[in-house]
Amino acid sequence: MAAAKKTESSEPVRLSGGNPQIPKGDGDEPVQAFISAMPDWKHDVGRRLDDLIVEVVPDVKKAVRWNSPFYGTDEHAWFLSFHCFAKYVKVTFLNGARLDPPPPEPSKDPDTRYLHIGEDGEVDETQLREWIRQASSRPGWDGF
C-alpha cells in the first residue's frame, strides 16, 4: 500500500480560535512566524504586543512553545506569553498575581493572571507597559 503524500502549504495549520501551529523554536524567528500567521485582527494585536514587549524589555528573549510565543529574561525566566482564541487574544502573565494591580482575569494557577484583548484592540497601553515592566523584573516561570 502506498503511503499518503504530504502536501506542502505556505499556511500553517490553525488550531481552534485560529491559533497558528508553529514548531517549537528559540529566538525571534519562530515568534515572528507565529505573529505573521495570526489570523485577521489578531495579527495586529500580536504585532503590537511584540513591539511593546521589545520596547519595554529591549534584551527580551523569545521562544515558541505549545503553539504560543513566550517572552523572558535571563535573570527572571519567562514572564509572558499569548495565544489566539476565537474572540480574543489571551495575554498570559506567568507571574501576574504579583503585579500591582494584577491583570483582570484569574487563572487556575494562583501565580498566573490574564488580559484578554478583543477585536476592538482597546487596551490601556500605559497599564500594559507597566505590567510588562513589572513582570519582566520579577521571578517568572522556568518550566522549559
pLDDT at 3: 38
Contact 51/64 with Cβ under 8 angstroms? no
- Nearest-angstrom CA–CA distance, 119 and 45: 8
SS3 of residue 5 by DSSP: coil
- CATH code of the region 17-136: 3.90.1150.200
Percent of the chain with pLDDT over 70: 92
Distance spanning both ends of the chain, measured CA to CA = 40
- Phi, psi (rounded to 5 degrees) for 36: -60, -30
Contact 43/35 with Cβ under 8 angstroms? yes
Q: What is the mean pLDDT of residues 93-100?
A: 97
- Nearest-angstrom CA–CA distance, 98 and 110: 10
pLDDT at 9: 54
pTM of the full structure: 0.89
Looking only at the bridges linking them, the beta strands covering 61-65 and 113-118 are: unpaired
- CA angle at 122 for the pair 57 and 89, rounded to the nearest 5°: 70
Instruction: Give which of 58, 106, 111, 48 is closest to 82, Cα–Cα.
Output: 48
pLDDT at 45: 97
Phi-psi label, residue 92: left if phi above 0, alpha if psi -120 to 50, beta otherwise? beta
* Residues 20-33 pLDDT 10s: 989 999 999 999 99
* Residues 59-71 pLDDT 10s: 999 999 999 999 9
Place of cell 495549520: 13
Q: How confident is the model at residue 143 (pLDDT cuts 50, 70, 90)?
A: confident
- Nearest-angstrom CA–CA distance, 113 and 98: 9
